[in-house]
Amino acid sequence: MRHVIAIDQGTTGSTVLVLDEKLEIRGRGYKEFRQIYPKPGWVEHDPEDIWSSVLAALGQALTGIDPKSIASIGITNQRETSIVWDRNTGKAVYNAIVWQDRRTADRCAELKAHGKEARVRQLTGLTLDPYFSGTKVSWLLHNIEGTAAAARAGSLAFGTVDSYLLWRLTGGRVHATDVTNASRTLLFDLKDLTWSDELLELLGVPRALLPEVVPSSGTVGVTKGIAGLPDGVPIAGMAGDQQSALFGQACFSPGDAKCTYGTGAFILMNTGEWPVASKSGLLTTVAWKLASGELRYALEGSAFIAGAAVQWLRDGLGFFSSASEIEALAKTVPESGGVIVVPAFAGLGAPHWRPEARALISGITRGTTRAHIARATLEGIALQNVDILRAMERDAGRPLGTLKVDGGAAANDLLMQFQSDVLGVEIARPEIVESTALGAAFLAGLGTGVWKDPDQLRATWREQRRFKPTTDRSWVTEHLARWDAAVAKA
């Protein structure tokens, strides 16, 4: 029996799954790591913490697994998070600047003021926002002494987390990223699938700093010097976490859509072989490219805060000791009592793109309790997605059918039912909600012949539960009106 390792390097921790050829999970590991907040709006990770967490999770997952049975490794990662390191020592020149980080908001505003946003969107499918990697790298080059000169000389390497992990797993032999991660940098031409000289010049990023761009599936390197693994294991799958989840949810046909409820909420819809330019504030991104040459694009809408809002109730306000307790607390009241929570802790993402927005709680009365705020927080997570999906329907020119869901908060039945109610569509939750890791395994297995094609994988996708709308639409309309009013004030 061959096994495939999936490394899912996320914002707050690293997960490693070991799956067999029948897609049964045979090993699992998880390790959290610290979050660093140097200033308001700044979010960083120590790259060594990221690497240590991956090794720890890998060690847990491989317990009882014959290392010789490992056929391939897939990597999926928190996207946009940016790392620059020394090619000779492997040491990062600065902490990783995380996707949530807002320090380049002024730079983005400056570029917009100079009329650059339309051209950037035309080339990249993205908007000028601190979310993406390009302005983060530019900040590093302009604020860390000696970095710009070293980058021009070719002694430094830039990468998103997939690229950094690939470098470490191969003993520093391979500097590459896949097309999905490249398409999130503000430096990549979405149609030509190459680094754009025009964008590199705009943001002041030397080409010598950049990784090679490779397909999402197919061997790109082999392991070297990793404890618990033999040398020579192919690393054959790489994709940003949301594209990986789309693949792991078997959303292989145009119109298929999924929502991942993690730190943020991320919705992607497969749009087929051609990029669809958004007129509604969404992003156009590469969904995947296989070794066979199959190329797919997606529309994407991102809400920066989802599960992180629940963590805030736990850690910031002390509402409960475990995030999983929020459902029981929220169920102690039949509704939110008019309370609306807009979880804009890191600004508002698609389709609003308001980095200056901040979180807001409205509708509080003397009768408001912790339970009302907890329920309104769950509802706020779902209501953000209504804005995104309605924009997606307009851009794609088709109504949403079934929405597939995954991620930690997808296990919350109250949240999933409310999401179905306010969207007016059915929600399908799979047996394996770790679709991000599953997608990385799919891509790696396809790249090494463990599975022959996507159709074989589609047949293995298994539904665990389906949620159907149950609420009167007039109530939904009233609720959405209160939401819109609160968003306008955030």
Compute the radius of gyration of the chain from its Cα atoms: 21
- Return the pLDDT at 457: 82
At 377, list the tokens. Answer: 């927080």
- Return the pLDDT at 296: 95
- Return the pLDDT at 131: 87
Close Cβ partners of 375 (under 8 Å, ≥ 6 residues apart): 330, 331, 333, 335, 336, 339, 414
Amino acid at 252: F
Q: Tell me phi and psi for residue 485, to 5 degrees.
A: -65, -40
Q: Is the dihedral of CA 198, 203, 206, 209 positive or negative?
A: negative
- Return the pLDDT at 114: 94
Three-state secondary structure string covering the chain: CCEEEEEEECCCEEEEEEEECCCCEEEEEEEECCCECCCCCCCEECHHHHHHHHHHHHHHHCCCCCHHHEEEEEEEECCCCEEEEECCCCCECCCEECCCCCCCHHHHHHHHHCCCHHHHHHHHCCCCCCCCHHHHHHHHHHHCCCHHHHHHHCCEEEEEHHHHHHHHHCCCCCCEEEHHHHCCCCCEECCCCEECHHHHHHHCCCHHHCCEEECCEEEEEECCCCCCCCCCCEEEEEEEHHHHHHHHCCCCCCCCEEEEECCCEEEEEEEECCCCCCCCCCEEEEEEECCCCCEEEEEEEEECCCHHHHHHHHHCCCCCCCHHHHHHHHCCCCCCCCCEEECCECEECCCCCECCCCCEEECCCCCCCHHHHHHHHHHHHHHHHHHHHHHHHHHHCCCCCCEEEECHHHHCHHHHHHHHHHHCCCEEEECCCCHHHHHHHHHHHHHCCCCCCHHHHHCCCCEEEEECCCCCHHHHHHHHHHHHHHHHHC
- Return the pLDDT at 100: 86
Of 488, 310, 489, the closest CA to residue 412 belongs to: 310
- Return the pLDDT at 264: 85
- Return the pLDDT at 327: 93
All structural domains of the chain, each given as residue ranges with its CATH number in brackets, are: 3-241 (3.30.420.40)
Distance from the Cα of residue 110 to its chain's centroid = 26
pLDDT in tens, 13-29: 999 999 998 888 999 99
Residue that the structure tokens 């051609």 belong to: 274
- Return the pLDDT at 374: 94
Q: Quick one: 482 exposed, middle or buried, by C-beta within 10 A (0-12, 13-18, 19+)?
A: middle
Q: How far apart are CA 145 and CA 389, in angstroms?
A: 43
- Return the pLDDT at 148: 92
Close Cβ partners of 452 (under 8 Å, ≥ 6 residues apart): 446
Amino acid at 301: G
- Return the pLDDT at 151: 92
Q: Please give the C-alpha separations between residue 121 and each of 45, 194, 285, 304, 350, in angstroms, as whole numbers.
A: 28, 15, 11, 20, 14
Q: How far apart are CA 44 and CA 34, in angstroms?
A: 9
Instruction: Per residue of the chain (490 residues), give pLDDT as tens.
Output: 899 999 999 988 999 999 998 888 999 999 999 999 999 889 999 999 999 999 999 999 999 999 999 999 999 999 999 999 999 999 999 999 999 898 999 999 999 999 999 999 999 999 898 989 999 999 999 999 999 999 999 999 999 999 999 999 999 999 999 999 999 999 999 999 999 999 999 999 999 999 999 999 999 999 999 988 999 999 999 999 999 999 999 999 888 899 989 888 989 999 999 899 888 889 999 999 998 889 999 999 988 889 889 999 999 999 999 888 999 999 999 999 999 999 998 888 888 888 788 999 999 999 999 999 999 999 999 999 999 999 998 888 888 888 999 988 899 999 999 999 999 999 999 988 888 899 999 999 999 999 888 888 887 788 899 999 998 888 889 889 999 999 999 8
